Amino acid sequence: MSIRVSHVHGEHLAVEAPNGTEILRYVYRPDPDAFEARKPYAHPVRTLAGRTVTGYRPSDHRWHKGLQMTASHLSGQNFWGGNCYVHGQGYLRLPDQVGSMRHDGFTGLTVTDERLDATEELTWVENGGREWAREVRGLAVHTVDEEAGAWTLDWAIALTNVHDEPLLFGSPTTAGREMAGYTGLQWRGPRDFTGGGVFTPDSEPGIDAAKVMGSQGPWLAFTTEHDETDGHSTLVFAHAPENLDESSAIHASHWFVRSEPIPTVAFSWAFFEEFALPPGESFGYRYRVVIADGAWDRDRVGRHLEDLPW
């Protein structure tokens, strides 16, 4: 038995597990509402048992769409979507400051019995139509393990400044709002995950997410018990080693995580401090998300990640 990959041209890629469950749909068709920051996203994402672990356009934040690459504060533009944070004024609806990420095409699609590797080219476009950055995105679905009840999604970004000025990456926190460092690769969970348990290599499951907010570490896990289906799911968000290497990473990453009032995790690359990307320069990060059935604990997460070499 092998995975199956389908491609609806101009719409999405989908991956089906050997048991017939569609575990990933990567949508690159432009969204209709520019205020939500048009960009590709992954939704629905499901466990092998078929439980959906991503949320799409929730009533509290319509611009939250599954798993998506974002930049909430970028040289005065908002590539996250929705309202913009302005210090002293709060969140304002500023549609002329919301940018977009244009899908330019797939330059590589390789499928084997056990793995999908996709390479996508995108352009980050500010609201006035100027092209600010070129991105090469890597997506890989692999280690679909029915015995473990888990599968793995790797997500890589290589971003180059094609603007004639430095690009300044920040967050609401760098703009003046405390502990709101959201930016970078962001996951939004469905309502089942509200109030779920969060833990890291240094904590046990169930810790208050606020105690993890703004911290650093190689991985963070989020687990919940679902309504209706009598089952649990666990998501593990992990950095590639070089992301946390001060000698190689362009900027230190911190966790942005909430369990209540909404469930969300972001690999924040500009939580507490802005960083600049000069014209012609590039940066890159690699991330891993393990999607698992069951309520995993710290030891199980650690063992599983050890068996997944980068």
pLDDT in tens, 154-175: 999 999 999 999 999 999 999 9
Range of the domain at 105: 4-307
Q: What integer pLDDT is reported at residue 42 of this predicted model?
A: 98
The pLDDT of residue 203:
84
pLDDT of residue 229 exceeding 90: no
Burial string for 214-231 (b: 16+ CB within 10 Å, else e) reads beebebbbbbbebeeeee
Of 145, 147, 150, whose CA–CA distance to 233 is shortest? 150
Residue 297 has pLDDT above 90, yes or no: yes
0.95 cut: is pTM over it? yes
We report the CATH number of the domain holding residue 32 as: 2.70.98
**Rounded to an integer, what distance in angstroms lies between the CA atom of residue 14 and that of residue 174?**
37
If one counts every other C-beta atom within 10 angstroms of the C-beta of residue 303, the result is 11
Residue 220 above 80 pLDDT?
yes
E strands, 165-218, in order: 167-170, 184-188, 197-199
Confidence category of residue 246, pLDDT binned at 50, 70, 90: confident
Q: What distances in angstroms separate CA 237 from CA 93, 107, 240, 257, 265, one per listed residue?
A: 31, 26, 10, 11, 8
Report, as an integer, the average pLDDT of 114-141: 98
Number of domains into which the chain is organized: 1
Q: Indicate whether 247 pLDDT > 80.
A: no
The pair of structure tokens assigned to 62 is 């319509």
pLDDT at 5: 98
